[in-house]
Amino acid sequence: MERFIRKALVSIACFCLAAQAFAMNSFPDSFEGDVITQNMSDLERIYRFVDANFLYDIDYKKVYEAMATAMLDALDDQWTTYINSSESEQYEEMITGKYSGVGIMLSKTSIQNQKSDDERTLYVQVGTVFRGSPAQRSGLMTGDLITEIDGQAVREKNATECSKMLRGERGTSVHVRIRRGNVEFEVDIIRDEITTPTVESEMLPGHIFYIRINQFTQSTARQVRDAFRGIDYISSIILDLRNNGGGDVNSCLAVANLFLDEGNVLISTISKVKSRNRSHYSSAGTIIPVEANMVVLINKGTASAAEILSIALRDNGRAILIGEKSYGKGVMQYTSQYKDGVVNVTTAEYVSGSGTKVNKLGLSPDIEVLEDDMSDEEVEKVIEAQKSGDVREFVRKNPEYSIEAVERGVDELVVKYPMPRRAMASLLLLEYRNMSEKANSTIAYPMYDSALNKAISVIEKSLAANESVFDFIQEQEPKAAND
């Protein structure tokens, strides 16, 4: 079986399915008379001419990798890429989930796909900020844009280069410049050993089990299974896939198996070669009774494998979706090692069992709950509060973590630093997590999370009415249609 490597250096990852049983080395070495043969012949003539006449020494490996990169870049598909030998070395440590860095999932639009009027395509986008990581301790937030790393502009660099710049020996410092809205600030982050977390969970009041999946790796399904182990009773489940950029599709399908009975269509794939079109079905392995209510939280950062899981659960009548419209990445990549590099090629589009397309459309939630964006003035106040030390001073004077302590801190500090209460609560929670194991064990904060609060409300009301969440929202809530 081909060794598949997850492209984890971007938050919207590349994927492979075991069922896609084709490999580059299965193709013939040449196709006489076709356009590719002619192009390669012409290219070889140029290369031979350069080799015979170029004044200086030629780095043949560098030239080869540049040609491979240019060939895939010319396809104008941001997901189809060639990762050269020096960059591919990072894949092994991404598979193990351990490395030394700052603790974020980042994304960076390839240079040829950048748009000058969209700054999100120009800079590094901060996706998931790992809980307890150096990045979180330094105040980085999901949605921040990194414009410089150690004084070097990132605009002309790719995701891999930026990731390597953020990594380094444990205990060393990296200086980054951040743009949050129209506000820019700088921060020094002390690198540490990072173990990439993928699953976090917590039992909420009313036996509502909250579980968050940050990304899909080879071990995610096992981590999800472990999270449910030893729990006697669950009334309902809230699965949080917000800001989950995707990952390993096989892992995603394995997670779906944990929630669905055998024989349900999870996804169907549409390929260039019709013989490779197929549907993927759930298999035996359900660990939670299907009658338990289930809500999935999504937002604009929910992409690819996370969208596959979301639509599989909704289409099979297992869950409703609450939150914002998802990202809309409905294509898959075949990922393979080739010589010293790694090739990612878009090979298929996926649709749901009912035929719903996701690519460039996204998934519309059954109940829409928009995430509030802060004004520039409020962002300024957040940065001012971070730099002032007042938040840290409050936590120092009130070291015993509790929700009540956070509420007192919010009441006191928003007077001096006007901002949404949820924003001030996030700053306080960040400080408490840096010093309190109890704070780190608390995952969900419904009072500061509108979508989560809505999910709990819908579950509680449906249980009180002795109805499933599906029946309840049909009676009580307008259902969104997929655009």
Residue 28: pLDDT band (50, 70, 90) is: low
Element (H, E) at 411: helix 403-416
- Interhelix angle 220-228/249-259, nearest 10 degrees: 20
The 10s digit of each residue's pLDDT in 239-255 is: 999 999 888 888 999 99
Task: Please give the radius of gyration of the chain, using alpha carbons only, rounded to the nearest integer.
Answer: 24
CATH architecture of 199-334+344-368: Alpha-Beta Complex (3.90)
Q: How far apart are CA 265 and CA 351, in angstroms?
A: 11
| CA atoms within 13 A of residue 106's CA, in its CB half-sphere | 30
pTM: 0.74
Q: How far apart are CA 231 and CA 226, in angstroms?
A: 10
Element (H, E) at 98: strand 98-101
Q: How far apart are CA 430 and CA 446, in angstroms?
A: 16
Q: How far apart are CA 28 and CA 147, in angstroms?
A: 44
Unique residue bearing structure tokens 């844009």: 145
- Locate all alpha helices (DSSP H) within 289-349, ordered by sequence: 305-315
pLDDT of residue 83: 83
Domain parsing of the chain, residue ranges: 98-195, 199-334+344-368, 376-448
Range with lowest mean pLDDT among 54-68, 103-117, 316-330, 453-467 = 103-117
The answer to whether residue 51 scores a pLDDT higher than 80 is yes
The 10s digit of each residue's pLDDT in 194-247 is: 877 789 999 999 999 999 999 888 889 989 999 999 898 999 999 999 999 888
CB atoms within 10 A of CB 482: 14
The answer to whether residue 10 scores a pLDDT higher than 80 is no
| Nearest CA among 307, 311, 304, 449 for reference residue 372 | 449
The 10s digit of each residue's pLDDT in 262-302 is: 999 999 999 998 888 999 999 877 888 788 899 999 999 99
The backbone torsions φ and ψ at residue 449, rounded to the nearest 5 degrees and listed phi first, read -135, 100
The answer to whether residue 483 scores a pLDDT higher than 70 is no
The 10s digit of each residue's pLDDT in 79-89 is: 898 888 777 66
- Average pLDDT over every residue of 140-158: 92
Q: How far apart are CA 43 and CA 35, in angstroms?
A: 12
pLDDT of residue 88: 66
- Average pLDDT over every residue of 54-68: 95
| Nearest CA among 243, 224, 242, 233 for reference residue 203 | 233
Q: How far apart are CA 387 and CA 208, in angstroms?
A: 37
Is residue 357 a contact partner of residue 343, using CB atoms and an 8 Å limit?
Answer: no
**424 or 341, greater pLDDT:** 424
Q: How far apart are CA 214 and CA 127, in angstroms?
A: 10
Q: How far apart are CA 116 and CA 51, in angstroms?
A: 38
Asked whether this chain's domains 98-195 and 199-334+344-368 adopt the same fold, the reply is no
Task: Classify domain 98-195 at the CATH superfamily level.
Answer: PDZ domain (2.30.42.10)
pLDDT of residue 480: 47
The answer to whether residue 365 scores a pLDDT higher than 60 is yes
**119 or 301, greater pLDDT:** 301
- 300 CB burial (10 A radius; 0-12, 13-18, 19+): middle
Residue 96: pLDDT band (50, 70, 90) is: low
Residue 33: pLDDT band (50, 70, 90) is: low
**Mean pLDDT, all residues of the chain:** 86
Residue 190: pLDDT band (50, 70, 90) is: very high
Q: How far apart are CA 341 and CA 87, in angstroms?
A: 8
- Average pLDDT over every residue of 47-53: 97
Beta strands per DSSP E along 130-285: 145-149, 152-153, 173-180, 183-190, 192-195, 199-204, 208-213, 236-240, 265-271, 278-281
**440 or 76, greater pLDDT:** 76
Q: How far apart are CA 67 and CA 61, in angstroms?
A: 10
